[in-house]
Amino acid sequence: WVAGDLLPSEAELVQTFGVSRMTVNRALRELHQEGLIERVQGVGTFVAQLHRISSTLTVRDVHDEIAERGHRHEAVLHRLETLKATAEQAAEFELPAGAELFHSVIVHLENGVAIQCEDRHG
């Protein structure tokens, strides 16, 4: 569904997804609370127009997140190399084609369990 589309009725959603009416109602309530759908009494439920809230994305440090949970963080370096930039990479990094780029692959572990693979070029 896209913004403005009328969603099926609760009964139709129950039948389509094979879940209880209570489950469908709760899901719709949560989607409404998150601003993803609009409910209009006597008319129906519609997919909401998404509004850009911010053009800034905050990326938290995985080490800090793990530490906040009181767990142990470990980073394992799997690859560190220098590569020649492809034409696409050169354009993205605003470098001449064939310029040297560093490439690293690091796996982050939380209490010994891999939770994130970081693949960087720069």
Per-residue pLDDT tens digits for 50-69? 766 556 667 788 999 899 99
Per cent of the chain over pLDDT 90 is 57
Question: Per-residue confidence at 107, pLDDT binned at 50, 70, 90?
Answer: very high
CA–CA gap between residue 68 and residue 75 (Å, rounded) = 16
Q: What mean pLDDT value characterizes the chain?
A: 89
Residue 39, C-beta contacts closer than 8 angstroms, at least 6 positions apart: 28, 32, 45, 46
- Interior angle at CA 9, CA 3 and CA 47, nearest 5: 10
Across 81-113, b (16+ Cβ under 10 Å) vs e yields: eeeebeeebbeeeeeeeeeebeeeebebbbeee
Which amino acid appears at position 3 of this protein? A
Tokens 């993205």 correspond to: 92
CATH 1.10.10.10 is held by the domain 1-55: yes
pLDDT tens across 76-92, in order?
999 999 999 999 888 88
CA–CA gap between residue 9 and residue 2 (Å, rounded) = 16
Residue 20, C-beta contacts closer than 8 angstroms, at least 6 positions apart: 14
- The domain limits of the chain are 1-55, 62-121
Tokens 């690859």 correspond to: 79
